Chains A and B, each alone.
Chain A
Amino acid sequence: MNPEFLFFWTAVIFYGISTLCYIIGLVSRKEKFFSVGALLAFIGVIPHIASVALRWIEGGVLPFIEVSESITAGVMVAMIVFLIVQSSVKRIKAIGIFILPVNFILLSWAGTLMKEISGQLPASLQSYWLWVHIIAASTGFSLVLIAAGMGLLFLLKEKYSKGFYEKLPELSRLDDLSYRYVAGGFIMLGVMIISGAFWSNQVKGSYWNWDSVEVWSLVCWLVYGIYLHLRITIGWRNRKLAWYALLSLLVMVVSYWGIPFVAENFHTGFRIEH
């Protein structure tokens, strides 16, 4: 097995065990399992970064072109953001009960789709806008993933009160945190769409072509735009928005990795027709 695959599957195994710890912690309601889970997740991130770096070095091409590469790099950023949030926001150790299973499933799926390293970056993707686009897309996904995690913690704390639930922040605080991460994600999704539009303008001379990936990214942005309107203008709070944040994540996952998987456009290797 080549080192890249070795690091990749090591990361998957660590995330898998970490997921198990979080599930045990959730069932037993003991917080110490979350600490172990977070530690394993931290250890898992190291080979994860190494596998992405190796692929990049070996291919000399940004590993974000194939769907598997896109998922792998996206999950890597999501894990880094998760660990930063874990260490900077108090009393939310339990958020891993949502983040780890999602990332574990996504990364395992990426493993089944892995292909040999692309020889060369297609000429159409040799653009600085690509960097902005990728960073914004993966950060945006990470932030709304955290927001959905906060939403889940809200719903759990609302229903249960014993065990680790007592140590979670107040419901209003969870609600506010979820909103903040949605707001951050909304901005990053905006940057993603704008950089994509500039990229399209650079290549085709038109900033918007209504292709399926563009429309799905707009759908995601609208979904979170509606969230913000429901909260700020209509005054929705708490349970309704917690559910909304959770369900919106499905749209994100479909949009990011479901649609480019079946649609032929820029993201699957745009080429000029003869």
Chain B
Amino acid sequence: MNKIYDFLRSVKLALILFISILISCVTGVMFFPDQQAKAMIFSSLWFNSLLILLVVNIGFCFFSRVWRRKITPVSLGMILFHLSFVLIFAGIVYNSLFYFNGAIRLSEGETLSNTVPQSYDLAEWGRFFNHARLKGDTTLVKLHTHYKVNSADKGVANQILVGDGNDKKEGFVYITNHMDYNGFRYFRDRDGFSLLIILYDKHGRERYGAFVPLQSLKQKDGTYLYTSGTAVRSGSFPFPQDPLKPLLNLQISYSPDPQKERAGHVYFQVWPFREGHHVQGEKIIAKGEAALREKFTAGDYFLSVHEVRYWASMNVRYDPGLLIILTSFWIGLGGMILTTIARLARSRKRQDTG
């Protein structure tokens, strides 16, 4: 037992851990891109074990030296500094058990329930997160571009309405400003265009209409292609969608007007829809460009884009351990300052008396 205790409180172990973490960090940032480094090193079990062992070592190493000893400004500063590591670790563990992190995506005017898992593109939570905490719903009222605060351009701002019944809160979420509702924080993440596509029959009667969110694919020259498809490439989708039976396979790209907001041209590509068949094997029915509200002929049907709206994706976060972690940073800093000042004062006193 004593051997384990001596091992855990050894300064040599602290230095070995410091150096191991240092080497791992340098390797991670020098030889791998950010995401790969995160997956291979910073999120790995062995690296996090090193961090945990360091915190345990700091706890043992330091408190075994100050236990039952006289508290001086130097030792108090050191206690606070080292205690902050233990508190940060405790905050991280506590947070990992109770957190919630979801990505909610809405088009302007759309409302989604906060309580339903289907409302989130991605959602993860801690083992003890209480789902009853998720209440009410979220509405994206409007997306503002070039949103100004005290004449400073804050870029894109999401005007959102969050809450339950009469307890609703409205606010603007932009890059340096989140909105807090019952401990859940809304952060801006992504945005894009959403087009209202109308299908007409050959007599010009409206058959169907739906908002279709577009992907924003970054091109080599830094510009964006706004198109249907997946997050990595453009592609087609069956149209109309549920609950109607699909009639066409449709691929659309949107070219925004650089001068006028919510205006521009749409490029259509249309294939016949056949269950189980991919568009690659089909002969294209029609392709071409149309302005907003202009009808585009697609075989026996007409298509048109009636309206351009924005969609916005926001991160919804509940981090109950955050306060502990952020407060611990200041405790650690306070400890550093206290111990440094006390050491300087002590050495000056020694010089004066010596």
Interface positions of A (Cβ within 8 A of B)? 120, 122-124, 126-127, 176, 180, 183-184, 186-187, 190-191, 194, 197-198, 201-207, 210-212, 215-216, 218-219, 222-223, 225-226, 229-230, 233-234, 259, 263, 265, 272-274
Which of B1-30 touch A at CB < 8 Å?
11, 14-15, 18-19, 21-22, 25-26, 28-29
Q: Which residues does chain A contribute within 8 Å of B210, judged by CB atoms?
A: none
- The reply to whether B191 and A203 contact each other, CB–CB distance below 8 Å, is no
- The reply to whether B326 and A198 contact each other, CB–CB distance below 8 Å, is yes
Q: Which residues does chain A contribute within 8 Å of B26, judged by CB atoms?
A: 219
23 A–B pairs (Cβ distance < 8 Å), ordered by A: A122-B155, A123-B153, A123-B174, A124-B155, A187-B333, A190-B333, A191-B333, A201-B326, A205-B185, A215-B42, A216-B25, A219-B29, A222-B18, A225-B18, A226-B22, A230-B15, A234-B15, A272-B191, A273-B189, A273-B216, A273-B218, A274-B190, A274-B192
Complex-state Cα separation, A269 to B21, whole angstroms: 28
Do A204 and B19 form a contact, CB below 8 Å, given A210-B37, A218-B25? no
Q: A215-B29, A229-B11 are in contact. List 9 more A-B contacts (CB 8 A).
A: A123-B152, A123-B174, A191-B333, A194-B330, A197-B326, A203-B175, A205-B178, A205-B187, A216-B25
- The reply to whether B18 and A229 contact each other, CB–CB distance below 8 Å, is yes
Do A207 and B325 form a contact, CB below 8 Å, given A215-B28, A272-B188? yes
B224 on interface, CB distance cutoff 8 Å: yes
Do A194 and B329 form a contact, CB below 8 Å, given A184-B340, A219-B25? yes
B34 on interface, CB distance cutoff 8 Å: yes
Q: Which residue of B lies closest to A213 (CB)?
A: B29
Complex-state Cα separation, A268 to B337, whole angstroms: 31
B306 on interface, CB distance cutoff 8 Å: no
Complex-state Cα separation, A225 to B189, whole angstroms: 35
| B285 vs chain A, min Cβ distance (A) | 29
Complex-state Cα separation, A274 to B254, whole angstroms: 14
Please, what's the 1-or-0 string for B134-169, where 1 marks a CB less than 8 Å from any CB in chain A? 000000000000000000111110000000000000
B38 on interface, CB distance cutoff 8 Å: yes
Q: Which residues does chain A contribute within 8 Å of B43, judged by CB atoms?
A: 210
- The reply to whether A211 and B175 contact each other, CB–CB distance below 8 Å, is no
Q: Which residues does chain A contribute within 8 Å of B325, judged by CB atoms?
A: 207
Complex-state Cα separation, A130 to B107, whole angstroms: 32
Do A124 and B176 form a contact, CB below 8 Å, given A205-B315, A234-B11? yes
Interface positions of B (Cβ within 8 A of A)? 11, 14-15, 18-19, 21-22, 25-26, 28-29, 34, 37-38, 42-43, 152-156, 174-176, 178, 185, 187-192, 216, 218, 224, 315, 317, 319, 322, 325-326, 329-330, 332-333, 336-337, 340, 343-344, 347
Q: Which residues does chain A contribute within 8 Å of B29, judged by CB atoms?
A: 212, 215-216, 219, 259
Q: Which residue of B lies closest to A199 (CB)?
A: B176
| A52 vs chain B, min Cβ distance (A) | 22
- The reply to whether B336 and A215 contact each other, CB–CB distance below 8 Å, is no
Complex-state Cα separation, A259 to B25, whole angstroms: 13
Complex-state Cα separation, A191 to B336, whole angstroms: 10
Q: Which residues does chain A contribute within 8 Å of B25, judged by CB atoms?
A: 215-216, 218-219, 222
Complex-state Cα separation, A190 to B329, whole angstroms: 9
Q: Which residues does chain B contribute within 8 Å of A219, judged by CB atoms?
A: 22, 25-26, 29
